[in-house]
Structure 1
């Protein structure tokens, strides 16, 4: 390595070659024994980097100068790239993104669970890698993030913003002009709401002092054209609330569900808040594989609708149903997977922590004429007891799709006791999945592995693993 150059207290590491990409999406280089994680670097780049954080064995850095651009680079398509926390990989070609996602899943399973991944199936890419999300949540703030160009003319600059949190800055919001994550009318509605608020004197939320009229804007769309708008107010007078709601109803007749929430808590969560329907239904419908699913303001539904269908088809294929199975669907959410597989099995028992999600799951079964599902709400480790299994029967197949933190240790222990013939483990976090597999492999062998890209231009990836009981 060339000798470090120093400018004041700043350390510059010259001409590093980016050799890999880390699980959190940063490029990886080596400087002697030091591992360097470089923001916005692509494998194949040769760069000078400025160190921004230094530990004993690794450093974090940003690109100071790009000497040679990787063949895997491409031009970012979004004007907000580099500041916004989303779509961090849009400067890398999509085929390369898929390659490194597969590689990262392999690395996690090998390193953390000592699993042989030689038979791992190729990652399934997303047919749509722009405008693929069906839900976005924006934040209002009176403290807009200012970039260097804004600083030059900061006096008199509009400081209100409607957009996304800047990474590591909870009180700063990047004002979004056009977002490539959600199809129209998402951008048009968001920009209209911002303009209306500015023209009519509605104050944007102060994230530090907790005051202001407007707090959040949630936009949900479905593949069949339905649109849900939820405006979250904080301290707005009812006259202001009604004014904005009436304006949206008049200007956007395509809105199927128009609702609002008054949230004066210190946090943004809405699960404990009353949702007030101003116009239309209090839900929209999504369709998949001939099934209809009700989605409310608080409902969980996979945010990439088209790719969710592919994910569920893979889950069903891995399970290899013959028609007479009892299936436990753990972390069932709104019962999407449970209802998706119900026509191929004898019975599905779904368990989920969120009571409103279980209400949706039951409704979705009734809506689709499905009568072989049972759903229970409660903490998984408390519901999935020996008595519960004795009452409902030992499952032939378990489908589990936990949150990023993976399964609770008590749940893993119960799976080991149940000894279902098959477990299909769907995960959005290969590291926590590997942690659980390291325990399960005492009784199960990993028969199939297939990653699925649900979130193009990000480092995130879903992974489906089939576990078969060792006889």
Structure 2
């Protein structure tokens, strides 16, 4: 029988760095790394280990002997319990430092790349209330605090409308005020919960699969439009209309009031019919005079202001003259493709999600952009020699893949085409570095620009410009 690893306690551990996935780093007496979840670089703490591996430990700080000067007071009352915004206790300037450091480390250590001087990370003007999309879950058995559990008072209100507790799919933390999305987001969420509770509209029980109210999604745009989508598990028409009519009357500023009836085991809506109760079935976002229609299933960068900065950097890195044929890989709803189109001869967008391509085509028509074409298909299959022979060899490729990065066949096809420039936009610099290593024999990394899309978290976007090596470079 395998013995369980005994937990260990290390005293006076200096927290020296911040690492991947937002964890901080200390050193055990034997030199092994300790990954911590509740500290800030500069803290000196006692550590209780939770996992032991050959090369490292994982643990939590149980006592703080000295607090880091990098610390700041978290804004949110739910900090430490809610799974989001884990860096709220670290000053924003230090968050930016560690995000840039992670990008540089990944590109050098994983990609083994020679880098130019990295441009300082583009910080966000808004450190709170910057998200344009939030999704909340209902539960009839909310997460109880330790004080509530130990109290002699009987708990009567067990309904919750908030976020999943990290690692606990069936436990929902009831949120009083979220600092991620601007008003009226909090007001809409709180009114929804209050009205449903008073009118006996049941909250979902995820473990036993019953209850009427399942999720609430709120989307906003920089031009003041608001989408609210309520997902119902049980189909009680009278109570559904009662709630939606109340939201319509209480918040007349809602542009699109939608609902889904989803009796599946999971709460994804991408295979469900979205029904419009009031207003439009979409909202609009605007950027440099371009309007983008966003429906309930659309992908759009969740920080509108920083998305604009990200797209400007992408366009600047491309260095367009107006004569280029551009391929925009993983184009999504075609936002980057349309954003650069006015500076290019032609843009070809490719995406695997059919609904996204329909949105891209619709947006291009609405924006009267005629020099873009969009195609749907699995990238590693559609992006082949036949496609290139039909549409032309691109001068520049812009690629913005999901977190997993590009399939190796896609990387190889880029190398086969060998355009003069590749602009690689990534939300995961580790997989970006892996892909860039495969391309370094043919390309130099000439520009690197991190962008902070998600303040108070460890996540960071990064834009890299690759320029084709000359014959002299290769010699």
Q: TM-score, normalised by structure 2?
A: 0.96
Task: Confirm or deny that 1:35 pairs with 2:33.
Answer: yes
Change (3 A) 1:30 1:143: same
Task: Report the alpha carbon displacement of residue 156 of structure 1 after superposing the two structures with TM.
Answer: 2.7
Change (3 A) 1:86 1:26: same
Q: How far did residue 197 of structure 1 move? A: 1.1
Q: Identify the residue that residue 75 of structure 2 maps to in structure 1.
A: 77
Q: Which residue of 1 aligns with 2:418?
A: 419
Task: Give 2:19's aligned residue.
Answer: 22
Separation in structure 1 between the aligned mates of residue 380 and residue 267 of structure 2, nearest angstrom: 27
In 2, Cα distance between equivalents of 1:166 and 1:262: 25
Partner of 1:160: 159
Larger CA deviation: 148-157 vs 338-347 = 148-157
Provide Cα deviations, 1:212-238, integer angstroms capped at 9, x if missing partner: 101100000001110000000011311
Q: Give the CA deviation at 1:283.
A: 0.4
Report the counterpart of residue 245 of structure 1 in structure 2: 244
* Alpha-carbon contact 2:116-2:448 (below 8 Å) kept: no
The equivalent residue for 1:400 is: 399
Tell me by how many angstroms 1:10 deviates. 4.7
Matched residue of 2:129: which SS? Answer: coil
Q: Structure 1 CA distance, aligned partners of 2:411 and 2:100?
A: 25
Partner of 1:57: 55
Q: What do the CA deviations read for 1:202-221 (whole angstroms, capped 9, x no partner)? A: 11111112221011000000
**How far apart, in 2, do the equivalents of 1:384 and 1:91 lie?**
44
How big is the shift at 1:424?
0.2
State how many pairs are aligned.
464
In structure 2, the residue matched to 1:295 is: 294
Q: Deviations over 1:98-151 (max 9, x none)?
A: 000000011111111111235111111001110000000001112211121121
Per-residue Cα deviation, 1:303-352 (whole angstroms, up to 9, x for no partner): 00000000000000000001010000011111100010000000100011
Report the Cα distance in structure 1 between the residues aligned to 2:301 and 2:452, rounded to whole angstroms.
12
Preserved CA contact (<8 Å) 2:115 2:445: no
Paired with 2:77 and 2:443, the residues of 1 have a C-alpha distance of 48
1:119 paired with 2:146, answer no
User: What is the distance in 2 between the residues matched to 1:212 and 1:328?
Assistant: 47
- Quote the residue 1:174 is aligned against: 173
Q: What is the rounded CA distance, in whole Å, between the counterparts of 2:380 and 2:426 in structure 1?
A: 18
Distance 2:169 2:218 in 1: 21
> Superposed, which structure 2 residues align to 1:88-107 within 5 Å?
88-107=86-105
| Post-superposition offset of 1:172 | 0.4
Please give the root-mean-square deviation of Cα atoms over the aligned residues, in Å: 1.2
Structure 1 residue matching 2:20: 3-state secondary structure: coil
CA shift for structure 1 position 152: 2.1
Q: Matches of 1:16 and 1:54 in 2, distance apart?
A: 16
Q: What corresponds to 1:3 in structure 2?
A: none
For the 8 Å contact 2:328–2:336, the answer to whether it is kept is yes
In the other structure, the counterpart of 2:127 is 129
Partner residue of 1:273?
272
List alignment gaps of at least 5 residues for structure 1.
1-8
In the aligned structure 1, how far is the partner of 2:49 from the partner of 2:202?
A: 40
Q: In structure 1, what is the equivalent of residue 184 of structure 2? A: 185
Q: Give distance in 2, aligned partners of 1:100 and 1:157.
A: 44
The answer to whether 1:334 aligns with 2:358 is no
- Name the CA distance, whole Å, in 2 between partners of 1:241 and 1:436: 48
1:463 deviates by 0.3
